[in-house]
Every structure is written in C-alpha cells, then in structure tokens.
Amino acid sequence: MPYLPAFVAPQRYSDAESALAQVLLIYNQSLEHLREAMHRFVAGDTLPGHVRACYPFVRIHTDTVARDDVHEGAGLAFGFVAGPGRFETTLTRPDLYGHYYLDQFRLLLQNHHVELEVGTSTAPIPIHFSFAEHDHIEGTLTAERRMLMRDVFDLPDLAAMDDGIANGTYEPGPGEAQPLSLFTAPRVDYSLHRLRHYTGTAPDWFQNFVLFTNYQFYIDEFMRLGHEAMADENSEFIAFVEPGNVVTRRKGLPAQDIDALGVPPPRLPQMPAYHLMRADRSGITMVNIGVGPSNAKTITDHIAVLRPHAWMMLGHCAGLRNSQ
C-alpha cells in the first residue's frame, strides 16, 4: 500500500489568488510528507509502504473557441487556450513561480470566464526534487540503504520528462486532457536541478533577460560592471551573484541569511552563470556556455523552464567597434 499524505480534493476557483493559495497548500503538504518520510528513512525506520506524494494540478474546461478580447491582456500571445476542451498541467515550486502562475491564472480567467480547478494530480514528486536547496540527506546513507530507495520512494524518471509538448509532437491519448503548459512539473524540476549543476548557481537567482557567450572577455566585463553597480548606492540593481551562489549586495543594502551559504567553487562549473539582479527579476543573467552546440542546446533546454522574457547570444560580432 502506498504511504500518502492526506488527499486534497479538486476545488474550483474564480479568482487567481485563491487558486494559487490552493496550489501552494497542496505542494507544501506533499513536500512535508516526503521530507518527513526521508528523515525517518535516513534514521533507519521501516516506513508503512511505498512513499508517494503528488504534484498539484490546474485545469480548465472550455466549450468554445471564442474568448474575451476587451480586457488589458487580450492581445497577449499567452494566457489562453486555442479551442474548446479540457486543458490541464501539473505545477511545481510555487515559491519560485508564484508571480508567473498568478499572471497566467488571471489571464485564463479573463480570457475564458471559466473557473480554474485545482487539485492533487497523479504525477508523483521524485524524492530528490523534494529536497531543499542545501539539503544533502542522501549522502548520509550507507550504500545498502541507498539501494533500497527505489523500493521506498519515487525517483526521477527521464521517460516522463521529454519535450514532446514544447516540440509540438505530444498527442494526448483517448480521454486525456490537452496540455496547458509547455513543461510538466517533473520536467521543470529536472531542469531546475540541472541548472544548479551546470551553472553553479541556484535557479532562484536567474533574471528574465539572459545573455549567452563563449568568450571569457565578455564575462570579465560583465563581472566588472556588476561589481561597479554594487558599489553605487543609487544603482537600479540590488545584487550581483556569481558561481557558488556568492552574493554581493548593493551598497547600503543589508546582507541576507542566504548570503552566508555562498562559497566560491574550487573550479568553475561547466557553464558558469552570473546574475545582475533587479528586485522585479528584470535584471540580466549571463552564462558562459563554453565551446560546442551541445552546451548551447543543453543550457537553453533548461533555462527555458524559467520562462525568461528574452535571450541572446553574444559571439564574435558583438565585439565590433562602432566604426565597423
């Protein structure tokens, strides 16, 4: 028998804030269940069954292709569905995506005048995706205990994390809902973890405007500009973050508790990232992708789940003089 948290039945909402609050409730309850079970497992306890907790989902039903075109966001290329039917997606990290979810929920409500349905999905949260940013619980297990994890917990399943929706190749089966987002919750969580590995920084630092380069002198100049901005108490930027989650706050701003966790890495990661942050996330992230198209594809596949506003590659031609 699965060992599950208390089931939260689907509910319908006509306002975006209440829908988001329910997503947060379901998600946090699932994480608490998984983390509590993992602590017991590390302590050597025998759990009462296969531990499972699932992502929240959001769903809408429409019966017409028509949508409202007289509200403020009516001309946007997102926040609506293309035709009648049932559309749904799983959701993760409402702490990180809260503002994004809220905007999308509001637009769906305004465009279609239907309720949002929020509930507990059947998509399990892999145990590794439930760990907090600086948790390293698995490393304390013996080899024998680690071998038992697959029997006790749901682990990441790459077969459930493809890009069929984003690539336009996904076809729902009979009775299945149409996708409501480009990426499912497991696919998002997978990329958030990969971003830590490849860039040496937490996904929380990424800004909505991203520059890619494979020239170190662009990185050196960006670092110079970042530290220069931090020395200016009138700068529009509030922090500069480097690999290892090393945070420099703007002059006059107090340090935060999370800053103490940053440590310069002994060697740079595969694609180090640097973040010149604004309070509303409209700052600039710069990533040194190194050499090769495989790096470029890998990092864009993962940054895409953050839904940035724009990204651009700075290559050799970005260094042309004004006279050229």
Low-confidence ranges of the chain (pLDDT < 50): none
Give the pLDDT of residue 230: 98
Query: Which one, of 305, 300, 238, 310, lies nearest residue 273 by Cα?
Result: 300
Kind and range of the H or E run holding 274: strand 273-277
Torsion of CA 275, 279, 280, 286, to 10 degrees: -10
Distance (Å, whole) CA 151 – CA 125: 15
- Tell me the C-alpha to C-alpha distance, in Å, between residue 187 and each of 15, 30, 130, 313: 27, 17, 14, 24
Give the pLDDT of residue 321: 60
Kind and range of the H or E run holding 11: strand 11-13
- Asked, colleague to colleague, whether 2-184 and 200-319 share their fold, the answer is no
Give the pLDDT of residue 132: 78
What tokens were used for 26? 């379901």
User: pLDDT tens for residues 68-85?
Assistant: 777 777 778 889 998 999
The domain locations on the chain are 2-184, 200-319
Give the pLDDT of residue 317: 66
What tokens were used for 49? 């069954």
Tell the CATH topology of 200-319: Rossmann fold (3.40.50)
Return the CATH architecture of domain 2-184.
Answer: 2-Layer Sandwich (3.30)
Give the pLDDT of residue 306: 97
pTM score, whole prediction: 0.92
Residue 110, helix vs strand vs coil: helix
Distance (Å, whole) CA 54 – CA 142: 27
User: pLDDT tens for residues 270-300?
Assistant: 999 999 999 999 999 999 999 878 899 999 9
Query: Which one, of 47, 36, 188, 79, lies nearest residue 123 by Cα?
Result: 188
Distance (Å, whole) CA 222 – CA 217: 9
Q: Do residues 3 and 51 make contact, with C-beta atoms less than 8 angstroms apart? A: yes
DSSP 250: P
Distance (Å, whole) CA 199 – CA 209: 16
Give the pLDDT of residue 126: 96
